[in-house]
Amino acid sequence: MIHYDLICANEHGFDSWFQSAEGFDRLAAAGQVTCPRCGSVEVRRAIMAPAVAHGTAREARPLGEPREGIEAALAELRRQVEANSEYVGMNFAAEARAIHDGSAPERAIYGEARPDEAKKLIEDGVPVAPLPFLPKRKAN
């Protein structure tokens, strides 16, 4: 396993573990390494200083636990959305429109839509908003 500090095209810093350097390269080339703040798939390794022990054990944090306040807030938002909404995947635009038109039961949903579909929903007055994270199946 290898740990990398990463930076996306929008200069958001985050970190992640990979099976190997080649594993990171393969996942990044396939667009499967995404920024947890903005969802960008344009991710590169940041310059890292070597890890040096300081004589005392550093406080360990569980893998994937947020380091900063904004990351913790985004993680909590994700938990709330996933706990209180139905994931409808790529059917988001059709489901949102059906709920708005009254042909589907009213409920909280989240999912994915192409930019042109999202724009059309907004133009048609369907209340939607982008989420600052990708669904788990697309996140690294």
Domain-embedded: residue 92: yes
Q: Is the pLDDT of residue 128 over 70?
A: yes
Span between the terminal Cα atoms of the chain, in Å: 15
Q: Are residues 78 and 119 in the same domain?
A: yes
pLDDT digits (tens, 9 = 90+) for 64-118: 555 677 788 888 888 999 999 999 999 999 999 999 999 999 999 999 999 899 9
Phi first, then psi, for residue 139 (nearest 5°) are -85, 155
Q: Are residues 117 and 78 in the same domain?
A: yes
pTM of the model: 0.51
Q: Are residues 78 and 115 in the same domain?
A: yes
Domain-embedded: residue 132: no
Domain encompassing residue 111: 71-123
Domain-embedded: residue 66: no
Q: Are residues 43 and 77 in the same domain?
A: no
Domain-embedded: residue 137: no
pLDDT digits (tens, 9 = 90+) for 19-69: 888 989 999 998 889 988 888 999 999 877 666 655 554 455 555 555 677
Domain-embedded: residue 10: yes
Distance between CA atoms of residues 66 and 70, nearest Å: 8
